[in-house]
């Protein structure tokens, strides 16, 4: 079991997109009230007094859409300035990135993942639930701006949905050939989107790799990331191709992360709510941070058991009551 040193911090559950796989139309979304979000100060307190003392060194800011969070640049600066922070990254849909990329980079954010499920504007707009918009152009501008200001390598996340965007595997993979861009293909997961998942199912990573292999060839890369992606390259390409295979190639034994929701719920497993604890309520009830740290340490101790139980059950539908946007990607 890997050392658990990576915390994904959701800043907000709201989003300006409504992606089919994250916030499906049929899902009833009860957004967190602003006063119920973890505050800037509470996030920093938890990092300084709970997570860093327990060995956490890598932090990723997620949502919803994290760039909708008021004061996000200042929060990035404060987390980046913590002496124990070894890696600070963010996952975003890119819509607001063109105007914020330079400020985020200067504040200390050095790595960024941007969702890009299609290069076709109509398909893209359909996936994000905004069929009559020009959001693709905003996202593409955000991607280019982020790369220009210094985010290198740049990572693009692609959720592959059968019958929707699997025809674009090759053109999306091709983005890695002439740019130091890392394209990450993610197997479609049934979190909060049961109807869509049951209708579309998912494509195993090996099928995606084979599509690319037949076009250009494919070799394993010596570049390794902080997460569960298996990394490959098209021969001679500047960038890489990552494959996150949570459905077909379970990586529970390599999991090094925990997730903190925007309202302060800490969960040890994306697919399992077992063991989650409400850190916000503990803080606001003036529970000593040493006691909170002990509670988190107890969860860390049983995380391998939770992971293996999920893996061995063969239960790909998971055990959760929230959509992906409410969990925090």
Tens-digit pLDDT profile for residues 129-180:
776 677 899 999 999 999 999 998 899 999 998 888 999 999 999 999 999 9
Neighbours of 321 (CB within 10 A): 8
pLDDT of residue 284: 98
For the entire predicted model, the pTM comes to 0.90
pLDDT of residue 222: 85
- Cβ atoms of 239 and 183 closer than 8 Å: yes
- Under the banding of pLDDT at 50, 70 and 90, the label for residue 309 is low
154 token code pair: 């740049």
More confident position, 251 or 191 = 251
First and final C-alpha spacing in the chain: 22
Tens-digit pLDDT profile for residues 24-52:
565 566 788 999 999 999 999 999 999 99
Report the side by side order of strands in the sheet with 111-115: 219-220, 230-233, 240-244, 181-187, 154-160, 111-115, 87-92, 58-62, 6-10, 257-260, 265-267, 277-278
Position 286 pLDDT exceeds 50: yes
Percent of the chain with pLDDT over 90: 63
Position 191 pLDDT exceeds 70: no
Position 319 pLDDT exceeds 50: no
Q: Which of 22-26, 83-87, 257-261 has the lowest mean pLDDT?
A: 22-26
In 28-143 the beta strands, taken as DSSP E runs, fall at: 58-62, 87-92, 111-115
What is the number of alpha carbons within 13 Å of residue 140 lying toward its C-beta? 12
Q: Which of 24-33, 89-98, 121-130, 262-271 has the lowest mean pLDDT?
A: 24-33
Task: For the chain, list the domains and their CATH numbers.
Answer: 6-327 (3.20.20.70)
- Cβ atoms of 287 and 240 closer than 8 Å: no
């Amino acid at each position: 079991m890997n050392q658990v040193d990576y915390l994904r911090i959701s800043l907000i559950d709201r989003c300006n997109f409504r992606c089919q796989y994250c916030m499906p139309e049929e899902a009833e979304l009860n957004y967190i009230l602003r006063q119920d979000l973890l505050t800037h100060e509470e996030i920093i307190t938890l990092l300084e007094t709970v997570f860093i003392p327990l060995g956490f060194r890598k932090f990723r800011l997620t949502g919803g859409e994290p760039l909708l969070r008021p004061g996000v640049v200042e929060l990035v600066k404060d987390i980046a300035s913590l002496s124990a922070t070894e890696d600070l990254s963010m996952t975003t849909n890119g819509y607001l990135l063109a105007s914020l990329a330079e400020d985020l980079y200067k504040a200390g954010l050095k790595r960024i993942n941007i969702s890009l499920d299609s290069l076709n504007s109509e398909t893209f707009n359909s996936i994000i639930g905004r069929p009559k918009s020009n959001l693709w152009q905003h996202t593409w501008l955000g991607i280019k701006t982020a790369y220009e200001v210094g985010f290198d390598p740049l990572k693009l996340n692609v959720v592959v949905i059968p019958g929707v965007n699997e025809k674009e595997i090759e053109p999306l993979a091709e983005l890695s050939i002439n740019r130091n861009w890392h394209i990450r293909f993610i197997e479609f997961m049934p979190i909060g989107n049961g109807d869509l998942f049951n209708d579309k199912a998912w494509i195993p990573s090996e099928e995606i790799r084979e599509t690319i292999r037949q076009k250009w060839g494919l070799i394993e890369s010596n570049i390794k990331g902080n997460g569960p992606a298996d990394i490959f390259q098209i021969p001679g390409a500047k960038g890489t191709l990552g494959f996150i295979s949570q459905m077909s190639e379970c990586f529970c034994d390599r999991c090094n992360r925990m997730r903190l929701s925007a309202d302060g719920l800490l969960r040890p497993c994306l697919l399992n709510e077992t063991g989650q604890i409400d850190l916000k309520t503990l803080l606001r009830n003036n529970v000593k941070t040493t006691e909170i740290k002990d509670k988190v340490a107890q969860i860390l101790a049983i995380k391998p058991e939770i992971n293996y139980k999920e893996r061995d059950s063969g239960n790909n539908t998971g055990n959760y009551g929230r959509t992906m946007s409410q969990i925090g990607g």
